[in-house]
Amino acid sequence: MRITMIGSGYVGLVSGTCFADFGHEVVCVDKDPSKIEALKAGRMPIYEPGLEALVADNVRQGRLSFTTDLAPAVANADAVFIAVGTPSRRGDGFADLSYVFAAAREIAQALTGYTVIVTKSTVPVGTGDEVERIVREARPDAEFAVVSNPEFLREGAAIEDFKRPDRIVIGTDDDRAVEAMNKVYRPLYLNQAPILVTGRRTAELTKYAANAFLATKITFINEIADLCEQVGANVQEVARGIGLDNRIGSKFLHAGPGYGGSCFPKDTLALVKTAQDAGTPVRLVETVVSVNDQRKRAMARKVVTACGGSVRGKTVAILGLTFKPNTDDMRDAPSLSIITGLQDGGARIVAYDPEGMDQARLVLSDVSYAEDAYACAEGADALVIVTEWNAFRALDLDRLGAVMATPILVDLRNVYSREDVERHGLRYTGIGVVPGLG
């Protein structure tokens, strides 16, 4: 099939490339000329393991191309995917749909035959209705269907998630559109990926509900971690104890500094606003949002406590800046709140991240950057693990202790055990563990 992807950011680029790898003919469109030129030259706008090689292979095979010219790409397409950004709107937290609606207007002008218009962007309930209205108003003669097909990609594992999905959700009541979407995803039949065909509004809400539930699991175990510290329990063992229950599951039960990234923060806010507007507030999700925001700020206080109650004039080394490993995404990363809190307390910050430092420089000020973990720790009064990159899982603790001014390790991801760290002469602070239980 001929597929056009409007938006060549994270979702659009990964989805378009994977569709091309399935054998479809894909054109990725973006308004940013510099991004398109970079993609044509083989330079990726994001870091995602395996993406650069996959893009290069499909470009070489002639199945994947990039352009700023939307009209011919849409005119020749069987399916047009809208994969533009839907950031939180300032003021009320609702999803900013201006890019989605602008794309819909441009698509409308370029339609030539029956076309399936697919919202891949994460959008609130009813957005597909508005997209359909916009296109119908602009082109009453056009043959088209609007489908919701939310993405469920994890940054750092997006290619694997796309090719081996837990499920594919298709929201439409148009039989012709269902047939077209089945053709789009036919290469996944061999993997027996479940395809759930629902109403369009149901598909839109499914995406938000999924992310809100996962954010709730994270926030739940983080609050249990705080309780563990007060009552002398071990949150890792608690998480294992409840995660072995098949009704609960072990995923997203890892205590840490709070969730961040491009999805959970904005999607939980958007769901809260949607529910409030509908007169059925989701109190649980409202609390999740509030608790998570407070938690990220509380992590700075945890570091201060580990340093004896003050970080004024001290050097704090930060390992990991991105919101999770295997990405360069700094959006709503816990490190931002932690570093700001420590700087407010008078600390000097030195940081290292395997992939995120270029993006961090755009959003952080007065931070020094190191070339590796050991250079980061040199002369530091405390070392804080914020993101659990694999490169931080087997550090030479003796070497760290030797180069630090004060051998304090604050492990906000519970990468190490207290016993291990203290055996090497460092003082340890973890999440949800107390002395003797780490």
Digit-coded pLDDT (tens) for 207-233: 999 999 999 999 999 999 999 999 999
Domain presence at residue 333: yes
Taking a C-beta distance cutoff of 8 angstroms, is the pair 384, 412 a contact?
yes
Domain presence at residue 367: yes
Q: How many residues does the chain have?
A: 438
Domain presence at residue 436: no
Q: Looking at the 3D structure of the chain, how many domains does it have?
A: 2
- Model pLDDT, residue 437: 55
Domain presence at residue 192: yes
pLDDT over 90 percentage in the chain: 95
Query: 395: helix, coil or strand?
Result: coil
Domain presence at residue 250: yes
Q: Are residues 233 and 152 in the same domain?
A: no
Q: Which of 234, 232, 209 is nearest to 221 (CA)?
A: 234
Q: What is the helix (H) or strand (E) element at residue 80, kind and residue range?
A: strand 79-82
Which residue shows structure tokens 């973990």? Answer: 373
- Model pLDDT, residue 409: 98
- Model pLDDT, residue 262: 87
Residue of 18, 28, 263, 307 marked catalytic: 263
- Model pLDDT, residue 88: 87
Q: What is the CATH number of the domain that holds 227?
A: 3.40.50.720
In the predicted model, what is the mean pLDDT of residues 365-369? 97
Q: Are residues 55 and 145 in the same domain?
A: yes
Q: Are residues 221 and 301 in the same domain?
A: yes
Dist. CA 304–CA 196, nearest whole Å: 49
User: Does residue 263 have an active-site annotation?
Assistant: yes
Taking a C-beta distance cutoff of 8 angstroms, is the pair 401, 424 a contact?
yes
Domain presence at residue 203: no
Q: Are residues 176 and 224 in the same domain?
A: no
Q: Are residues 187 and 227 in the same domain?
A: no
pLDDT band at 436 (very low <50, low <70, confident <90, very high): low
Q: Are residues 177 and 117 in the same domain?
A: yes
Q: Are residues 147 and 216 in the same domain?
A: no
Tokens at 47, concatenated: 């870091």
Residue range(s) defining the domain that contains residue 76: 2-198
Domain presence at residue 435: no
Final residue of a structural domain among 135, 163, 198? 198
Tokens at 425, concatenated: 């002469």
Q: Are residues 245 and 371 in the same domain?
A: yes
Q: Are residues 192 and 104 in the same domain?
A: yes
Q: Are residues 280 and 183 in the same domain?
A: no
Q: Are residues 128 and 86 in the same domain?
A: yes
Taking a C-beta distance cutoff of 8 angstroms, is the pair 425, 418 a contact?
no
pLDDT digits (tens, 9 = 90+) for 43-65: 999 999 999 999 999 999 999 99
Give yes or no for residue 140 having a pLDDT over 80: yes
pLDDT band at 205 (very low <50, low <70, confident <90, very high): very high
Final residue of a structural domain among 146, 169, 198? 198
Give yes or no for residue 438 having a pLDDT over 80: no
Final residue of a structural domain among 198, 232, 253? 198
In the predicted model, what is the mean pLDDT of residues 132-142? 97
**Tally of CB atoms within 10 A around 279:** 6
Give yes or no for residue 435 having a pLDDT over 80: no
- Model pLDDT, residue 86: 93
Q: Which of 70, 74, 100, 101 is nearest to 85 (CA)?
A: 100
Dist. CA 263–CA 265, nearest whole Å: 6
- The runs of H, that is alpha helices, within 149-199 are 158-163, 175-184
Domain presence at residue 296: yes
Q: Are residues 152 and 258 in the same domain?
A: no
